[in-house]
Structures are given as structure tokens and as C-alpha cells.
Amino acid sequence: MYPNGCKVTSVSTNLDADIPVGRRPRNRRGEGSRLRQDILDAAGEILEETGSPDAVTLRAIARRVGIAAPSIYAHFPDPEAVLVQLLIDGFVRLTATVEEAMDPLSDPVERLLAGCRAYLRQAASRPQLYRILFDHADDTPEAGTAGALSLAQGLRAFEVLVGAISDCARAGRSVSTDPFADATAVWVVLHGLAILPVSNPGFPWPPLDQLLTTTVTRIARIDASTSVNQE
């Protein structure tokens, strides 16, 4: 929140309800864009704490960052734009994490499973953001900007998944005859595993990593004898 590490020495008189604790030290000249990242961080925190995009208001962000609400207009045209940027960043991070996890591996089965695990790890790191990434219908206000990009990003990541299953089949490790349909099923499982344990913590979940491995292995029709992490 205070990236330059300054302590706020003078205690705020706190007359304005919008600025409850201390005040953020102003940025040096040319460092105004730091506030932009602080705004995004604060918005992300609010989103994870409340789980509701509607709670990400200009004034809530301003309170958290320690600035006056109108200061946000210097960096974003309106609160919707903050949310859109949050979604875009989330999508980019998700696909980047999956690709980085798969890239260094050569064994096709391990590549597939590593990508799936990375997907769930990234989703779990910001569960509410992940949920909103996929749950909003496409006709939602933010779909115009973020929706188009998310589809493009998602399709790119999806091709990696299809490729991984194709590689398994080519290597004789899978008997899949329709890698695209099987990749779709894998994605469906990933989404369910990313959402349900978060929203239903009271359910007696079996070990999730084993559930993932077993299920993906069966869906992608990977020969049990050739895989390491078998049930």
C-alpha cells in the first residue's frame, strides 16, 4: 500500500469518513503511475475479501489506498475500468502460469498433468477473481472489453491443452481419438475443481490432487501402466 516504505507520521484527524486510516504519502514527480498499481492492488483485495464485483467501488478503493476518491480518475475513467483491468491481468496471469509450468517438461503425460495442476494452483491463489473471470455471462458490461480478450487468451491456452493430449496420443500414451473433445472435458473438470472446493468447503472432499490426476487420466484415456501418478 505504501510502496516507498514511508511511515505516516502525523495521525490523520479523520474528519472525512472516506479516509479512515492515515494518508498515503504523495508520489514523487513522474511516479504518478505507482498509484495506478496501488489502485489495482486495493481493488483486487476488495474483490477477494467480498467476492462481489459490486463491492469494488471508487470510494472503497480510495479508502483502502488512502486517497480521495476523485484521485482515481487520473488513472481510470470509471470504476468499471478498474475491474476490467483486474480481469485482464488475471487472465494473462492464468494462461502464463499454465504455459510456464508445461514448457520445461518433455514427457507428454507429465506436461498435461503439470499444466492442469498449475491451472488449479493459479485459480486457488485468487479464487474470487478466478470465479468472476469465467462466471460472468458474456453480455455483462465488462464483456465488451475483457470478454473479447479473455476468449482470445483462453483459446490460446486451450490449444496448448489440446496439443498436450494429441502429444500423448502420438507418443502411444493415450488412446484418445478426439483430443479437442477430450481437452474440453478436461477444462470442464478443471473449472469444477477450481470452483467447488472453494464454495463448498464443508463437503468431504477426497484428496484433490489425486482426484485431478485420476480424472484427467481417464478423460484423456491415458494408459494406466505408463503413467506415474496413478491411483
Residues making up the chain, counted from first to last: 231
Measured from the CB atom, the residue of 2 and 205 that comes closer to a copy of itself is 205
Task: Say which entry of DNA, a copy of itself, none residue 57 contacts (CB below 5 to 8 A, set by partner kind).
Answer: DNA
Which DSSP symbol is given to 105?
Answer: -
Which residues contact DNA by CB under 7 A? 16-19, 23-24, 26-32, 35, 57-60, 66-71, 73-74, 78-79
Which residues contact a copy of itself by CB under 8 A? 51-52, 54, 127-128, 131, 134-138, 140, 147, 151, 154-155, 178, 180-181, 184-185, 187-193, 195-196, 198-203, 205-206, 210-211, 214-215, 218-219, 221, 231
* Strand extents, DSSP E, 89-230: none
Task: Say which entry of DNA, a copy of itself, none residue 29 contacts (CB below 5 to 8 A, set by partner kind).
Answer: DNA
222 by DSSP, 3-state: which? strand
Q: How far is the CB of 70 from a copy of itself (least distance, A)?
A: 24
The CA distance from 150 to 128, in Å, is 16
The CA distance from 27 to 41, in Å, is 16
Enter the C-alpha cell of residue 71.
Answer: 484521485
Enter the C-alpha cell of residue 104.
Answer: 520445461
Q: How far is the CB of 209 from DNA (least distance, A)?
A: 39
Q: How far is the CB of 47 from a copy of itself (least distance, A)?
A: 12
In sequence order, the 6+-apart residues with CB closer than 8 A to the CB of 137 are: 143
Q: How far is the CB of 54 from a copy of itself (least distance, A)?
A: 4
The CA distance from 165 to 197, in Å, is 26
